[in-house]
Chains A and B, each alone.
Chain A
Amino acid sequence: MPWPWFAVAAITFAFLVLPLVGLLGQVPWSTLGSDLGTPEATSALRLSLVCSVWAAALSVCFGVPLAWVLARVEFPGRSLVRALVLLPMVLPPVVGGVGLFYALGRDGLVGRYLFDWFDIQLTFSTAGAVIAETFVALPFLVITVEAALRSMDRRYEDAAATLGASPWTVTRRVTLPMIMPGLVAGTALAWARALGEFGATITFAGNVSGRTQTTPLAVYLLLESRPNVAIGLSVVLLALCVGVLALLRDRWFGVG
């Protein structure tokens, strides 16, 4: 291996780690407890927890059937459908937010009927924040579960069928338990992505304290006025992401 590779690798690693060092160097450890205890911080953290858990749950409920269809059903245009499903992973979140606004906003494509018929308004509501987070989180769940379904040995499902299990029983007692590691990983990734969601949320759901102002939004807004609170909240997000990586370590990082 030529030595410049090591030099470049070291620079790259430093580039990725430096911001974390910068953040941790600024943490006001002595007042961290009281900073996180301020109403702005607790409200943002509580809202983030509620919204991200909802987004992860919705991603599982709606994402698993979609992943199953993509993995198991052959139909024309499947690769196009998959590409569209994965688009939110690379789409600038703010563009997703604009799209959601014109689709589900009060005057949007579908949103106007939600409002006229059911009196549901998603913009500026916690439900809107959940929708925005689900939009960006879903692809992570779908792509992980689809991979798990594809790599599963389908002969186990055959074995279950010969033992008298109906297709639904096969799904419930064999397929889902066997893809559980993938499902857990996908849920964790979706949850982490929902937790950090900023662009789509602020564009679609707005920035209403206590209703749509999740932790990332609060960090952005408080960085000027109350930097200690913003830094404290950042550290909490960092800790949660480290936790997700720890959960996935066996799956992605192998031994060592």
Chain B
Amino acid sequence: MSLDARLGLRMGTLDLDVEIHAETGETIAVLGPNGAGKTTALRALAGLAPIDTGYIRLNGEMLDDGAAVNVAPERRSVGVVFQDSLLFPHLSALENVAFGLRSRGRTRSDARRAARVALDRVDLGAVADAKPRTLSGGQTQRVALARALATEPALLLLDEPLAALDQSARSTVRRELRQQLSTVEGVRILVTHDPFDAAALADRLVIVEGGRVVQTGSFAEISAQPRSAYVAELVGVNLLRGNSDGGRVVLDSGAALVVATAVVGAVSTVFHPRAVSLHSLEPTGSPRNVMAGRVSGIERLGDRVRVQVAGPIPLVAEITPAALTDLALGEGSPVWAALKATDIAVFPS
């Protein structure tokens, strides 16, 4: 099974032309700023926006060829988790999940039975009869995913699935989502503007800017070698792998990071260069992680400076040009880096 698509369409000021190829069992993150055309690309895949040029082939079947062929959304084997979830407010969680099955011809009782099983599987059996407005953000997101997966689509599309959640619920739901996605057969496409979501959930990234693909590859490849200042800004985050005991992550180098997330086992840690502060003397304060190192590279990106620090914990810090001048940093300068445990995202790898 595979998805093979080239999406060309114009809508207002947007001129979209992107290619997306994915194999079954793969999660692709389409990453880009607001207005880059991500959601439009996703709507085209779902059949909600016809393409002008290009093609959409799912498992060999032509869904849209920009001309004569344009399979209606209700006839595509596609499931969508929308931004804001879009659970039908007048239906219970159970009826929301059963909706797709009933629409595809299952009887009422049969659909409800299958929906109940699906909700029990994600520990939502207790809220099956609740209306969406009474659910928490995390529950809403899980019901939306269960609804999209109930019909066992060959292509699962997720549009900013975590954007509506507050920060505290986000990391929990992100971990659950990762676990659930791994059990989904078929192709998964995730649209997001959050590099943390992309790092946690996707096997491969497609970075879109102004309607064009600017870089593709794994998160590690792209974050190590961002091809433009824009990509660096977007995914130029620090990604370190190691083993966590629930409070400390021991990296491959033997150094350890203190984290605030209780995940145990092999993990990836991600933190933004903005979260790293640099000091000329050893700082004392709230940050749990204080590391000595040497400046191994300085890169100016517009009004910011990215400073690479080599040491037991190699990292990149983002500071202002004024701070760089004050610290009198140059290549090889000794420097202290500080990082709050709460600024580090941790997820199982």
| Min C-beta distance of B151 to chain A, whole Å | 6
Selected contact of B48 from candidates A162, A177, A178, A180, CB within 8 Å: A162
Query: For the complex, is A173 an interface residue (Cβ under 8 Å from B)?
Result: yes
Alpha-carbon distance A173/B101, docked complex (angstroms): 14
Instruction: Tell me, in angstroms, the Cα distance from A174 to B229 when the chains sit together.
Output: 45
The residue in chain B whose Cβ has the minimal distance to the Cβ of A169 is B103
Please state if B103 and A155 are interface contacts (CB–CB under 8 Å): no
Which of A155, A162, A177, A178 is in CB contact (< 8 Å) with B74?
A: A162
Q: Which of B82-90, B183-191, B267-275 contacts A (4 or more CB under 8 A)?
A: B82-90
On whether the beta carbons of A173 and B99 are closer than 8 Å, the reply is yes
> Which residue of the partner chain B has the closest CB to A162?
B80
Report A138-167 CB contacts with B as 1/0, cut-off 8 Å.
000000000000000101101111111110
Q: How many A-B residue pairs have CB under 8 A?
A: 61
Tell me if A163 and B90 are in contact (CB < 8 A). Answer: no
Contact yes or no, A155 B86, CB < 8 A: yes
Q: Is the interface of B mostly helix, strand, loop or mixed?
A: mixed
Q: Quick check: A155 and B82 within 8 Å, CB to CB?
A: yes
> Which residues on A sit within 8 Å (CB–CB) of B47?
161-162
Among A161, A163, A164, A178, max chain B CB count under 10 A is at: A163
The interface size of chain A toward B, counting residues with CB under 8 Å, comes to: 18
A163-B151, A164-B104, A173-B99 known; A156-B48 Cβ under 8 A = no
Within 8 A of A (CB), among B72-99: 72-76, 78-80, 82, 86, 88-90, 99
Q: Which residue of A lies closest to B78 (CB)?
A: A162
- In the assembled complex, the Cα of A163 lies from the Cα of B74 at a distance in Å of 6
Does B46 make an interface contact (CB < 8 A)?
yes
Q: Closest CB of chain A to B87's CB: distance in Å?
A: 8
> B99 and A162: CB pair below 8 A?
no
Contact of B37 with A by CB under 8 A: no
Does any Cβ of A come within 8 Å of B100's Cβ? yes
B147 at the interface (CB under 8 A from A): yes
Contact between chains at B82 and A163 (CB < 8 Å): no
Complex Cα distance, B104 from A216, in Å, reads 52
Where chain A touches its partner, the secondary structure class is helix
CB contacts under 8 Å to A, within B94-117, are 99-100, 103-104
Given contacts A155-B82, A169-B103, contact A161 B73 (CB under 8 A): yes
Which of A155, A158, A169, A177 has a CB less than 8 Å from the CB of B73? A158
Q: Closest B-chain residue to A180, C-beta based?
A: B90
**Minimal beta-carbon separation of B106 from chain A (angstroms):** 10
A49 to B: closest C-beta gap in Å: 30
Indicate if the CB atoms of A159 and B80 lie closer than 8 Å: yes
Closest to A163 in B: B100
Q: How far does the alpha carbon of A2 sit from the alpha carbon of B72 in the complex, in Å? A: 61
A160-B148 Cα distance, complex, nearest whole Å: 10
Given contacts A158-B48, A158-B73, A159-B80, A164 and B100 within 8 Å (CB-CB): yes
Which residues from A are CB-within-8-Å of B73? Answer: 158, 161-162
Chain A residue nearest to B147 in the complex (CB): A163
Contact residues, B59-74 vs A (CB, 8 A): 72-74
Q: Which residues of B contact A (CB under 8 A)?
A: 43, 46-48, 72-76, 78-80, 82, 86, 88-90, 99-100, 103-104, 147-148, 151
Can you list 8 pairs linking A and B with CB atoms under 8 Å apart? A156-B88, A158-B43, A160-B99, A162-B47, A162-B73, A162-B76, A163-B74, A177-B88
